[in-house]
Amino acid sequence: MELPGILSLQFIYFGAGLSLLMVMGQLYYSRQESAAPANPFLSLIGIISFSILVRIGIYLEQASISSWWYFTLFASVFVSGPLLMQMARRMIDAAFEGEPPERARNPLFRSKWYFAPLLPVLAVELQFQLQGTKEKDEILGKIYTGISFNTIDVGLLLGILQTCVCLLLLIVFVYRTGKEYNLSDTQRALSIFVLPLFASLFLLLGYSFKLIWAMHLGGWCISLTMILAFLYMLRYPHFFQSMKREIEKERYARTQLTGLNVPALLEQLKTLMEQQKLFLDPDLRLSDLAQEMEISSHQLSRILNETFSQNFNAFLNSYRIAEAREQLINEPEKTIISIAFDVGFNTKSAFNDQFSRITGMTPARFRKSESRK
């Protein structure tokens, strides 16, 4: 291998090492009491990037190694696009307080079925690894000569195509959202998804036609993505929070309360929550409540923020916990889990977390303390 190829290969391996460093950084900061919890999707993306970059390096070196070094390669490729989509979805949901714009609720963007191939792909990979050494060597020997319809070629090409689809959906959505809300960080957000798309296209081209230069470019694009992500974490530690603030500012600018009878709306809201107890519906959304009050979701969100200094979820949970406290005291025969479901929570853990946050004690301890009075 000539010097440019060696330097390129070292850069690809550097990207792999940086991917692991990002994962360790996330784990380290999650242990700090004052730090925000680690982003699980970012950590997983770092591990997946490391996995893919190492295998690209092995392929380019044409190293004679055990076939087990390629294990989980297909799964890594298949899962990379869906992981990026889930990371973006979580960020968007947080920015829009659980009520993202219509396009962000599109099943094409939110579906978790993109993860569906993962288990079958792992099963195929394991079946390949359990074949005899001769059969595996014969298949691996062909990956440098041309495309054939074996499990390796079909698996890799399908995985890369799925990643391309996920990234295209993300790029279109981020671009439209950035344009609609005048986000200053749109270009930075787009770079996180555009470079992996180029990487996927180069790898698809390189592996299909055995173009080594395209494989190098694919590895470079992934490494550059990890470098940018690492630099953003250092230079813009509150990158996603700043995007959230910009979105909220733009939403508030568009939300007009002029002409609305706010005191009457607050009275209506009180009736809906205290008499009709709409909060007991576990599927109640901001848009549902706004529709009931015949105002927009943005207007209701602004009323909640300005009147109660709460977002919709906090407002809803305050009523649910108040109802739960009454049931814990007045209905001792009911179990805590049944009360959690009755007041609108979908899981016991979510109920416990919110109850402890609002009251300062667990439901069991609260019930016990009240029974002694």
DSSP letter at 279?
Answer: G
- Whether the CB-CB separation of 343 and 354 falls below 8 Å is answered with no
> Residue range 26-37: average pLDDT?
57
Q: Among the listed ranges 100-114, 163-177, 191-205, 231-245, which one has the minimum average pLDDT value? A: 231-245
Q: Is the pLDDT of residue 357 over 70?
A: yes
Q: Among the listed ranges 168-172, 230-234, 329-333, which one has the minimum average pLDDT value? A: 230-234
So what's the pLDDT on residue 34? 46
So what's the pLDDT on residue 58? 92
Q: Is the pLDDT of residue 277 over 70?
A: yes
So what's the pLDDT on residue 43? 84
Q: Is the pLDDT of residue 115 over 80?
A: yes
- Residue 159's alpha-carbon distances to 50, 76, 151, 370, in angstroms, are 17, 9, 12, 57
> Residue range 71-91: average pLDDT?
87
For residue range 123-161, what is the model confidence (pLDDT) as tens digits? 989 998 999 988 888 888 888 887 777 777 888 889 999
Residue-averaged pLDDT of the chain: 85
| Burial of residue 53 (number of CB atoms within 10 Å: 0-12, 13-18, 19+) | buried
Q: Is the pLDDT of residue 301 over 60?
A: yes
Q: Is the pLDDT of residue 33 over 50?
A: no
So what's the pLDDT on residue 175? 83
DSSP assignment string, 339-356: HHHHTT-S-HHHHHHHHH
So what's the pLDDT on residue 373? 64
Contacts of residue 81, defined as CB under 8 A and 6 or more positions apart, other chains included, come to: 114, 162, 163, 164, 165, 166, 167
So what's the pLDDT on residue 1? 66
User: How many other CB atoms are found less than 10 A from the CB of residue 157?
Assistant: 16
For residue range 186-235, what is the model confidence (pLDDT) as tens digits? 777 788 889 999 999 999 999 988 899 999 999 999 999 999 888 877 76
Task: Give the residue among 203, 206, 176 at the shortest CA–CA distance from 189.
Answer: 176
> Residue range 65-92: average pLDDT?
86
Contacts of residue 190, defined as CB under 8 A and 6 or more positions apart, other chains included, come to: 171, 174, 175, 178
Q: Which domains occur in the chain, in start order?
A: 3-248 (1.20.1070), 257-371 (1.10.10.60)
Q: Is the pLDDT of residue 320 over 50?
A: yes
Residue with tokens 């947080």: 94
Q: Is the pLDDT of residue 302 over 60?
A: yes
